Structure 1
Amino acid sequence: MAHILVVEDEQAINDLITMNLKLVGHTYAKAYSGSEVADMLEKERADLILLDVMLPGLDGFGVMEQIAPLRIPVILITARGALSDRIRGFELGADDYIIKPFEILELLARINVVLRRNEQAASAFVCDRVEVRFTERQVWVDQLLVDLTAREFELLEVLIRNRNIALSREKLLELAWGYDYAGDTRTVDVHIRQLRKKLGWEERIKTVFKLGYRLEVQV
Structure 2
Amino acid sequence: MATILIVEDERSINELIKRNLQSVGHTCIAVLDGGAAIQQLAEQDVDLVLLDVMLPEMDGYEVFRQIRGTPTIFLTARSSLSDKVKGLTIGADDYLVKPFEMLELLARVDAVLRRTKKECKEFELDGVKIEFASRQVFLHAEPVECTPKEFDLLEVLVKNRNIALSRDKLIELVWGYDYAGDTRTVDVHIQKLRKKLDLEARIKTVYKLGYRLEV
TM-score by length of 1: 0.97
Percent identical: 58
The gaps in structure 2 that reach 5 residues or longer are none
- Match of residue 52 from structure 2: 52
- Match of residue 61 from structure 1: 61
- Match of residue 8 from structure 1: 8
2:119 counterpart SS class? coil
2:65 counterpart SS class? helix
1:28 counterpart SS class? strand
How far is 1:191 from its partner? 0.2
CA distance in 2, matches of 1:34, 1:180: 42
CA distance in 1, matches of 2:92, 2:176: 26
2:54 counterpart SS class? coil
Aligned residue identity for 1:55: L
The gaps in structure 1 that reach 5 residues or longer are none
Q: What does 1:153-192 align with in structure 2 at a 5 Å threshold? A: 153-192=151-190
How far is 1:182 from its partner? 1.0
How far is 1:38 from its partner? 1.7
- Match of residue 141 from structure 1: 139
How far is 1:134 from its partner? 0.3
Q: Does 1:207 align with 2:205?
A: yes
CA distance in 2, matches of 1:89, 1:169: 35
Aligned residue identity for 1:108: L
Q: Does 1:19 align with 2:9?
A: no
How far is 1:112 from its partner? 0.7
CA distance in 1, matches of 2:66, 2:54: 16
- Match of residue 109 from structure 2: 111
Alignment length, in residue pairs?
215
- Match of residue 33 from structure 2: 33
How far is 1:211 from its partner? 0.3
Write out the 4+ residue segments of structure 1 that deviate beyond 3 Å after TM superposition. none
Aligned residue identity for 1:8: E
1:126 counterpart SS class? strand
Q: Residues 96-154 of structure 1: CA distance to partner in whole angstroms, max 9, x if unpaired?
A: 11111111111111111111111101100011100000011000111011000000000
2:61 counterpart SS class? helix
CA distance in 2, matches of 1:2, 1:134: 16
CA distance in 2, matches of 1:166, 1:122: 21
Q: Residues 188-211 of structure 1: CA distance to partner in whole angstroms, max 9, x if unpaired?
A: 000000000010000000000000
1:145 counterpart SS class? strand
TM-score by length of 2: 0.99
CA distance in 1, matches of 2:43, 2:66: 16
Deviates more, 1:39-48 or 1:1-10: 39-48
How far is 1:178 from its partner? 1.0
Q: Does 1:120 align with 2:118?
A: yes
CA distance in 2, matches of 1:67, 1:118: 16
The RMSD of aligned alpha carbons is: 0.7
- Match of residue 214 from structure 2: 216
Q: Residues 170-199 of structure 1: CA distance to partner in whole angstroms, max 9, x if unpaired?
A: 000001111111110000000000000010
Aligned residue identity for 2:46: A
